[in-house]
Structure 1
Amino acid sequence: MSATQNQRYEDEITLIDLAATIVKRRRVFYAVFLSCILVGIAYAFVTENTYQYTSLIQVAEKGADEFLEPPATTIATLESRWLPEREVAYLSENGENFPFTTSFANPENTGLIRLVSESTTKNAEHVETVHRYLVEQVQQRHNALLEREKRSLESQMRSIDQSIDVLKSGQDSGQVLAEAFDRKTKLESDLQALKAAEMLVLARQGAEKTGPARILIITLATIMALIGGVFSAFFAEFLALVRSQVAASNEANE
């Protein structure tokens, strides 16, 4: 029992053994550690800063808090039709996919649609081109809906005008005539309340940088360098022990 315990204790690795291994293989540790640090610093200073570019659209309205098309429906069309169409066109023109991502949102209880893209300043012009295209698609769609709604209201008003002319020549039509005038007034109010879609902001660059900060990249590189250096030192020691044992085995066989 005592011999078994002694064998187990001899096989255990203490902190002193670990420290001794790192000291013994310090050149490997330093080489890997410094290499990782230099790579991290180079990456931190070579990587371009990214910013958020925001565009805002006010959807077409037909009254207070009433929209010709729900913002959610417009966003669905942006995501499933207009943005993919622009992505295909960009791929055809440039031979590569968009170098940025674009998302859409509708702030709660508003008729606003927000377009947000994260990109480097180098691609800012491409972001503006894409945002302008998407905004124009929304405006064209909503203006078409606006014209259709306008024609419908004007048609109803002409019909009421004809009814009013008929009622004026009749007798005992005072109440009906008053109701017709009320309907016409309501339609005129609805017509005046129509409001076209409007671009409020186009590809405005945010003040704050996005993406990891340089200090964070360097900190992570330092941690990875430490882990990589320790692992490399132990791996180098492991290889040395394997070579030593193979050489000893070969000598014994001879």
Structure 2
Amino acid sequence: MKIGFIGTGNMGTILIDAFVESHAVPPENITITNRTIKKALTIQERYNDVNVKHSGEEVAKESDVIFICVKPLEIRPLLTKLLPNLNKEQCIVSITSPVSVEQLESVVPCQIARIIPSITNQALAGVSLFTYGQSMGKDYKDYLWRLFSQLSTPIEIENNVTRVASDIVSCGPAFFSYLLQRFIDAAVSETEISHEQATSLASEMMIGMGKLLEKQIFTLPTLQEKVCVKGGVTGEGIKVLEGELGEIFHHLFHKTHDKYYEDISEVDDQFK
């Protein structure tokens, strides 16, 4: 399969790196472009056999699967430009949540999938979220599933949980990185530990906890039970979290969904 990328921002670049590093796609089978072409050329410096083109139309002509990695409001105008170079034998994959597969299918003749990746995919880990269009054939479904299985755990989701699933999988690393940094900052502020040592300890703790979960040695509830000895220090810390966290994550999901619905409204206006 010939793979194309229109847009080499953060997530586009992460996917290109993951495809190449996992040997899922040979570099010579990847064609890329970006509005700022220098970004695409920087990727080509890492992988000499990657092909760089100066327009999305050129990428579309060269590719079987075309990854659209641009901002939501840029997708509709881009598809209009690409339309003369698209056909029903091609597959378009959007990586942005506010644009539905139905909207994409209303514009182009291609087979359609929405696949929401995560920054964790760069480490060949984490989850990728799949939603297929009605036009999607079995061959492309199987191909994309195999492709992403080499750098993630693919999970098919319904449209009604797109935002919350993306919050957990794609935004989650940023949310919990922020919480971990606050944890480290408090340790440094309240004790004599250095920032460097606290960061090292916290990072290794997170890696170790991830391995416990990955190997299914513990679940999240049993992990807490195992560490939280009755009457011990951990229990006192849990009491603080129970008392002070409140509904912080409820508010977080409210805010992300408010922004999501705002984006959907703007996208709907374009596709109408």
TM-score, with structure 2 as normaliser: 0.23
Q: Which has the higher contact order (CA 8 A, sep 6+)?
A: 1
TM superposition score normalised by structure 1 = 0.24
Which one has a bigger Cα radius of gyration? 1
